[in-house]
């Protein structure tokens, strides 16, 4: 039977392309299983096959525990040290002791247990090979034949025992899919599991759209054109932002292709999804204007602090700018990274006037100046008291209606306003006192406790809920010291758990 073992190993290894050691281990497991059935299912058995001759030995083994251990559950395959040393004087807790036992014949189980275990081991090895092959390929576009379709999603044969899975929610809505269709998808996750799919893919991500253009537009693959962003409403509409690295190449035209052939090929792959090619611009305002295509923008107001942009369009073009269900404005916002507000010209003018009135009132009241001076400040682009207080004097003096005396007075008044606001804020901070349990915490000092309280960290529980980085943002200190202080604040949590 020893020769038969070697023949089985050679045959399976050659047929499946699996390492011989894996086959040997499968046969050892099968022989051990047969021995357990013969002598009682509860015992533990180890089989060792000589890789050269095919001869094998069988051993009964026991897992060794400390004498005082309370973890023993299976007396037929576990021993305490006091009994284990009788079997093997070199026994150690956590290891095994064993004695030889009669081996079962390989021939009796060759058609049953060994076959099942070998098939299982081969399948596991094949799955491990797939994971090993694809683990560094996440984000790559893959293509294969549709193997089957069910209510969970689509299974794609990628070749070489590899099978990709596109979940239903990762499919382009309403696209027809049939077995044996050729399908492309983006690999997003490789998961090593005993059962079920391992290669998870998507057809709905913006990156999938980018990868399709890399295939259809050679200039993108060559680095002559960059795709700097994409936004999608899968199956309906998408926008991509393109930029040329060669002044002689029109990036939009290259992506559209002759008579729209390139963009049409991408659209066909995405069940007719309409794709707008947008010219990227380093100026955010111009980029937003481009991204709003096909709607024409009349005027634009940028708020850099709020990272939002107000867009005015003609009344008759308003619905086009917004798009069905807000689709156009939403995609443009995702593509540019700015919050976009679309309105008609009348609403834009009214909003602008309202904001101007607010600023006029702010400057008039806070700086105690008449409306004419306030209007000059607004018209010159000032929007906060801080700007009036700290913009260089030279810039203020350049304003035609202002001289050095007016500028000096305005700056002094603005700084007085800021100082008053700071004092009021400081008084509010002083009113917030730390709780006694925070003050008495080991490692805490009074100055730090009051600083924490001013930031809303009033109690020990508040401190316990902070992360180390949160504490470092409030107070500049050593990272280890910050971590230790938080752990002191959390100590009562662990004490409560232990008591429970």
CATH number of the domain bearing residue 192: 2.40.50.140
Please give the mean pLDDT across all residues of the chain: 85
In a domain, 298, yes or no: yes
pLDDT digits (tens, 9 = 90+) for 14-39: 776 677 888 888 888 888 888 888 88
Pairwise pLDDT comparison (225 vs 104), residue with the higher score: 225
Distances (CA, A) of 400 to 207, 245, 364, 403, 407: 52, 43, 19, 8, 11
In a domain, 150, yes or no: yes
Q: Are residues 325 and 256 in the same domain?
A: no
Per-residue pLDDT at 403: 81
- What does the pLDDT average to over 252-279? 93
Q: Are residues 152 and 87 in the same domain?
A: no
Per-residue pLDDT at 161: 80
The percentage of residues in the chain with a pLDDT greater than 90, rounded to a whole number, is 32
State the virtual CA torsion across 210, 216, 217, 221 in degrees, nearest 10.
70
Three-class secondary structure of residue 30 per DSSP: helix
In a domain, 213, yes or no: no
- What does the pLDDT average to over 206-233? 93
**What range does the domain containing 58 cover?**
2-121
Q: Are residues 110 and 168 in the same domain?
A: no
Domain ends where: 121, 152, 172? 121
Per-residue pLDDT at 109: 56
Per-residue pLDDT at 456: 83
Q: Are residues 33 and 94 in the same domain?
A: yes
Q: Are residues 11 and 115 in the same domain?
A: yes
pTM of the model: 0.60
pLDDT digits (tens, 9 = 90+) for 410-421: 888 888 888 887
In a domain, 386, yes or no: no
Q: Are residues 368 and 454 in the same domain?
A: no
Distance (Å, whole) CA 131 – CA 413:
69
Smallest CA-to-CA distance from 146 within 111, 183, 110 is with 183
Per-residue pLDDT at 430: 55
Pairwise pLDDT comparison (5 vs 215), residue with the higher score: 215
């Amino acid at each position: 039977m020893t020769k038969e073992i070697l023949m089985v190993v050679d045959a399976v290894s050659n047929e499946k392309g699996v390492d011989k050691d894996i086959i040997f281990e499968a046969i050892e497991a099968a022989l051990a299983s047969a021995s357990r059935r013969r002598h009682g299912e509860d015992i533990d058995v180890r089989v060792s096959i000589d890789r050269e001759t095919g001869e094998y030995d069988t051993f009964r083994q026991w897992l060794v525990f400390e004498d005082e251990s309370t973890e023993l559950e299976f007396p037929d395959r576990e021993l305490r040290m006091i009994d284990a040393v009788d079997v093997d004087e070199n026994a150690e807790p956590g290891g095994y002791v064993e004695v030889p036992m009669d081996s079962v014949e390989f021939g009796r189980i060759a058609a049953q247990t060994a076959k099942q275990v070998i098939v299982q081991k081969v399948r596991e090895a094949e799955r491990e090979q797939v994971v090993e092959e694809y683990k560094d390929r996440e984000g790559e576009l893959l293509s294969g034949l549709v193997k089957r379709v069910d209510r969970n999603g689509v299974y794609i044969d990628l070749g070489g025992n590899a099978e990709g899975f596109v979940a239903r929610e990762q499919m382009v809505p309403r696209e027809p899919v049939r077995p044996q269709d050729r399908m492309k998808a983006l690999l997003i996750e490789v998961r090593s599991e005993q059962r079920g799919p391992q290669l998870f893919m998507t057809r709905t991500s913006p990156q999938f759209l980018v990868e399709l253009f890399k295939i259809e537009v050679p200039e993108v693959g060559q680095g002559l054109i960059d795709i700097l962003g994409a936004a999608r409403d899968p199956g309906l509409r998408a926008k991509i932002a393109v930029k040329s690295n060669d002044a002689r190449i029109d990036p939009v035209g290259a992506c559209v292709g002759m008579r729209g052939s390139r963009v049409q090929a991408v659209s066909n792959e995405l069940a007719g999804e309409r794709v707008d090619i947008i010219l990227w611009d380093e100026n955010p305002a111009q980029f937003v204007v481009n991204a709003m295509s096909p709607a024409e923008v009349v005027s634009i107001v940028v708020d850099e602090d709020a990272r939002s942009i107000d867009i005015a369009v003609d009344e008759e073009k308003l619905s086009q700018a917004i798009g069905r269900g807000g689709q156009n404005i939403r995609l443009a916002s995702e593509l540019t990274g700015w919050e976009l507000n679309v309105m008609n010209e009348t609403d834009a003018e009214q909003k602008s006037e309202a904001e101007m009135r607010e600023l006029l009132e702010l400057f008039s009241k806070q700086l105690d100046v008449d409306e004419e001076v306030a209007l000059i400040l607004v018209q010159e682009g000032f929007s906060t008291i801080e700007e009036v207080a700290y913009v260089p004097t030279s810039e203020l003096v350049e304003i035609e209606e202002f001289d050095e005396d007016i500028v000096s007075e305005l700056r002094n008044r603005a700084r007085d306003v800021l100082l008053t606001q700071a004092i009021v804020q400081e008084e509010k901070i002083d009113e917030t006192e730390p709780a006694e349990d925070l003050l008495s915490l080991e490692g805490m000092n009074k100055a730090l406790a009051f600083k924490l309280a001013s930031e809303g960290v009033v109690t020990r529980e508040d401190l316990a809920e902070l992360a180390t980085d949160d504490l470092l943002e409030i107070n500049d200190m050593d990272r280890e010291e910050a971590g230790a202080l938080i752990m002191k604040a959390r100590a009562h949590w662990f004490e409560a758990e232990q008591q429970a």
